[in-house]
């Protein structure tokens, strides 16, 4: 049973960098076939894919955020992280980390963290 837990500041000032960490248990960020994923959900709205990192270190980002996003992994701590630069109020959202899998060509997120609300405000 894979478990994920997000952590990080709940309040970030405009133009600063949002930094979140996801701690994984019951799985390894350094072994396949998992794709360690970040997804966000603005209050009262739908889900938006941010990106993922594969155990090999390869990454995939949503082009709408690519210029501002970095996802990385710390295998020694079995964690992966999200950095989103130059945030604005539009980045206020619940941020979820998730374990994604590609199975027969289809990707699905089968384990999720509980989510953490990040508010961008001065």
Which residues of this chain interact with another protein, rule CB under 8 A?
46-49, 60-64, 96, 98, 102-110, 112-115
| φ, ψ of residue 91 in degrees (nearest 5) | -90, 0
Choice between 75 and 114, CB closer to another protein: 114
Q: How far is it, in rounded angstroms, from Cα 33 to Cα 17?
A: 30
Choice between 8 and 16, CB closer to another protein: 8
Pairing of strands 11-12, 116-120: parallel
Q: How far is the CB of 114 from another protein (least distance, A)?
A: 6
Question: Residue 5 contacts by C-beta under 8 Å, 6 or more apart in sequence?
Answer: 22, 23, 25, 113, 114
Q: How far is the CB of 32 from another protein (least distance, A)?
A: 17
Choice between 106 and 121, CB closer to another protein: 106
């Amino acid at each position: 049973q894979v478990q994920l837990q997000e952590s990080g500041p709940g309040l970030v000032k405009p133009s600063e960098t949002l930094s979140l960490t996801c701690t994984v248990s019951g799985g390894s960020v350094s072994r396949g076939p998992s794709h360690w994923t970040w997804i966000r959900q603005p209050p009262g709205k739908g889900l938006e894919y941010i990106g993922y990192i594969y155990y090999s270190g390869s990454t995939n980002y949503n082009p709408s955020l690519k210029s501002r996003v970095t996802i990385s992994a710390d295998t020694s701590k079995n964690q992966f992280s999200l950095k989103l630069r130059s945030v604005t109020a539009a980045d206020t959202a619940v941020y979820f980390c998730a374990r994604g899998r590609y199975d027969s060509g289809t990707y699905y997120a089968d384990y999720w963290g509980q989510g953490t609300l990040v508010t961008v405000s001065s």
